[in-house]
Structure 1
Amino acid sequence: MGIICGVCYFILGLMVYKKPPKQINGIYGYRTPRAMSDRALWEEAQRYSSALMMQFGVIITAFGVIGFWLTDVRALVLSLIAVGFYTIRLFTRVEGRLKQMQRAQQEQDKQGK
């Protein structure tokens, strides 16, 4: 399971990296309220999340390979933990980056007025 999930993560990240969505939409790409609130945030969310998904896909795949030496139940638990952890990590890192960008934009707006 870990190998399949890791490969899927990598492929999805590669797809968004190679062909990022051109417009803000609710179907394709990294979609959270913060990412969809502004064009610059949207573009950064696509760029950064796709790079992280490829990195995390490799790591999750590695956990899946390690699972070959474990019992079925332990391999499944390891895979679920890896997928869950890196999914949460993806959102926290991307949202953190977008929050920093929002703050910087707000500071620029204050200084420009």
Structure 2
Amino acid sequence: MSPEIELLVSIGYCIFIIVLALVLKKFPPKKINHFYGYRTTRSMKNQNIWTVANTYASNLMLKVSLYSLIFPLLCYFIIPDYNFLITVIANTLLVCSIIFFTEKHLSKNFDANGKPK
């Protein structure tokens, strides 16, 4: 692929992640389920944690995905031949970081049984 095509595909990938974040923010899951939303053992303990976790995770995902638009632009000038690969790896790491930060937020605000601290 040419560097210009890699740039366009990489930006398209980032926009796709932004759209997913907007969907989660606009249409958060109302009830605890195993199909849609931020689903971890801690977030599914009760409805209060579920709501907090999904709100926090969707806000963080939107911020992270907006920052991820920087990677394709930087890679285009630094390593244009690997733009898409680097963008996908960077986005994957950023999206995985959402789990870490959301769990940290939940542990700060809720005890092990799911009750607010």
Where on the TM-score scale, by shorter chain, does this alignment land: which range? 0.7 to 0.9
Residues 57-104 of structure 1, C-alpha deviations (whole Å, 9 max, x = no match): 11112211222222212x245314421321231111001111122229
Residues 3-12 or 19-28, more deviating: 3-12
CA contact (8 A) 2:32 2:50 kept: yes
Does 2:30 correspond to 1:59?
A: no
1:72 paired residue number: 81
The whole-number CA distance in structure 2 between the counterparts of 1:68 and 1:93 is 29
The whole-number CA distance in structure 2 between the counterparts of 1:16 and 1:30 is 9
Aligned length in residues: 107
2:28 paired residue number: 20
The whole-number CA distance in structure 2 between the counterparts of 1:13 and 1:107 is 26
Instruction: Provide structure 2 residue ranges, at least 5 long, that are not aligned to the other structure.
Output: 1-8
CA contact (8 A) 1:10 1:54 kept: yes
TM-score, with length taken from structure 2? 0.77
CA contact (8 A) 2:109 2:116 kept: no
- What amino acid does structure 2 have at the position aligned with 1:61? L
2:47 paired residue number: 39
Residues 33-55 of structure 1, C-alpha deviations (whole Å, 9 max, x = no match): 11111111100111111111111
Residues 7-34 of structure 1, C-alpha deviations (whole Å, 9 max, x = no match): 2221111111111111111111111111
Instruction: Provide structure 1 residue ranges, at least 5 long, that are not aligned to the other structure.
Output: 109-113
**Correspondence for 2:96 among 70, 82, 88:** 88
The whole-number CA distance in structure 2 between the counterparts of 1:87 and 1:53 is 7
TM-score, with length taken from structure 1? 0.80
Q: Return the structure number with greater helix share.
A: 1
- What amino acid does structure 1 have at the position aligned with 2:90? A
Change (3 A) 1:24 1:107: closer
